[in-house]
Amino acid sequence: MQIRECESLDDVAVAGANFISARATEAIAERGQFTLALSGGSTPWIMFGKLAEQQLPWDRVRILQVDERAAADGDPDRNLVHIVRQLADQVSLPAENLIAMPVTSDDLEKAASQYEQVLIELAGEPPVLDFVHLGLGEDGHTASLVPGDPVLSIVDRDIATTGTYEGHRRMTLTYSIINRARHILWLITGQGKADMLSRLVQADRDIPAGRVSQHQATVVADAAALSRHAQN
């Protein structure tokens, strides 16, 4: 795991966008497309805006979701709303290149299987994504892999659903597809994340985030989030 410390939240967002852009350029040169799975969060929303300033061949970029709340289209709790507003609407991304999780379905389990099939068609079987962007919760969750949920034990599916967490059921990538990704970027800011970031770096499997593969992972964080790591 590589760790990069930035001075400010804005610096974290810029560094994350630059890192994604560089990996996109490499992937497009090597394989003709770049598959990018994005999470939500306030710092990532800033990063999405910085990424929109990058001069990329957006017709070769496929944007996917790491996780999503089961809520109506346009609901401000949806990660998709911010991906569209901060990124997709700001660049020349073909509409079909934004592949949203089908969380408005009446049958979430069936919808999860359908999304998995889309990923297979896009990135092979089993699908290998070029890039997965993750955040870190103060309870140690990442994506919608939350403490105590049965989703943590799913090993035979790449897309799964969760129970209710903070008011919503979720659809999420599972460890299997996250850990196959060519690159994983953790974007982490704030003192409130310091304890969990220290445990993440130690690969503490008692928190959901600690079970994510580290060999292809990069952490971009501010000094506050890295304060406990610096003490260890």
Q: What is the pLDDT of residue 229?
A: 81
Is the predicted pLDDT of residue 231 greater than 90, yes or no? no
Q: What is the mean pLDDT of residues 113-132?
A: 97
Burial environment of residue 92 by CB neighbours within 10 A (0 to 12, 13 to 18, 19 or more):
exposed
Find out if CATH 3.90.1150.10 is the number for domain 2-189.
no
Is the predicted pLDDT of residue 230 greater than 70, yes or no? no
pTM, two decimals, is 0.96
pLDDT digits (tens, 9 = 90+) for 186-212: 999 999 999 999 999 999 999 999 999
Q: What is the pLDDT of residue 169?
A: 94
pLDDT digits (tens, 9 = 90+) for 1-16: 999 999 999 999 999 9
Is the predicted pLDDT of residue 143 greater than 70, yes or no? yes
